[in-house]
Structure 1
């Protein structure tokens, strides 16, 4: 895995936040038989991958049509990642609560969209399609990151038992801190280009 591919996969994993979504998945599938859960998770992850890939390839055309400049995209991407990071470091109190329980099996909503292929993930691949000249790298990154995300969600019960609630929260906050530094760097880069600061 080359450097750009590794970096792209890492960014997508931070945005997809599989560990942070584990409490949501456990709550959402609480009333679903244990034997059906892996099939549901794999189906929803596959749907999310398709949505992300579609946005990856049509994103450039959308942004060109809207006449958005590269500095504006970089600053917007930094702001988006910064807001995501804030939610990871300071998660909402009702995340993963019992209000997410469903009587039947989830289909597309809310597991595939917006939990996996949510606004943050879609915005990330949308910006990537505009900024990166190597679409195959980002396509591979989407597939690899989505596969890792699926594995984490399939092992959600094991992760919950291994780390406990406090451990899961600590891991998510650590990923949020890393994502914060990446977001700030994107903002600095975008501002430098926009104002020709060198």
Structure 2
């Protein structure tokens, strides 16, 4: 077998694109009003949902986009808008003192925003579409790479709850604001990239 597919290096690439380390402050912020005993269950559930979405895009992404007459750029622009809204809520919390995605007791996030766009984000979905197109003969290896990257990401996010002991409330708020600024910059860049990719089609 001459053309061997680089499973490990592709997994590392996907791991960086999934960016679990960068998502830790956002995850902690989302879960901070929920019973700590539920954190692991919620993270596992959302990771599984995120994996399902990633797999759908890996195997059926191109068909999905063509079925609804959507372009890949639409994923980037939509993701940019979602991240923009999240970033604004992180930087400017509600006037009543509640922060980003404030929840009442027993109120848990479902699908949005952990499974999507945090795990199955626009960058990951777009990357899978490109990889699936350019490596059509290596679908099983791509699947293995995605699964490996997902497992590594799940481990990072599962251990993120331990950071509560180190960060405390003030540290978490500081990280939340910082992450908000980074997300704001990322969202604007995503939007610019999406528009820039669409411009040649209008020429």
TM-score bucket (shorter structure):
0.5 to 0.7
**Post-superposition CA distance 1:34-85 (Å, at most 9, x none):** 111100000000000011001101134457889xxxxxx9xx8xxx7xxx9x
Using the alignment, how far apart are the partners of 2:90 and 2:58 within structure 1? 28
Cα pair 2:39 2:161 within 8 Å, conserved: no
Using the alignment, how far apart are the partners of 2:134 and 2:90 within structure 1? 33
Cα separation, partners in 2 of 1:62 and 1:43, compared to 1, 3 Å: closer
Task: Give SS of 2:131's match.
Answer: helix
Cα pair 1:22 1:153 within 8 Å, conserved: yes
Query: Partner of 2:100 in structure 1?
Result: 99
Task: Give SS of 1:124's match.
Answer: helix
**Post-superposition CA distance 1:95-134 (Å, at most 9, x none):** 5873233331111111111111111111111111101131
Task: Give SS of 1:8's match.
Answer: helix
Cα separation, partners in 2 of 1:33 and 1:59, compared to 1, 3 Å: same
Using the alignment, how far apart are the partners of 1:15 and 1:61 within structure 2? 23
TM-score by length of 1: 0.63
- Structure 2 residue runs without a partner (length 5+): 94-98, 183-203
TM-score by length of 2: 0.62
- Structure 1 residue runs without a partner (length 5+): 67-72, 174-198
Detail structure 1 runs of 4+ shifted over 6 Å in the superposition: 63-66, 164-167
Indicate yes or no: 2:40 matched with 1:53: no
1:9 aligns with one of 11, 21, 29: 11
2:160 aligns with one of 156, 163, 172: 156
2:40 aligns with one of 38, 41, 63: 38
For residues 38-187 of structure 1, what are the structure 2 equivalents within 5 Å? 38-61=40-63, 98-103=99-104, 104-133=107-136, 134-159=138-163, 161=166
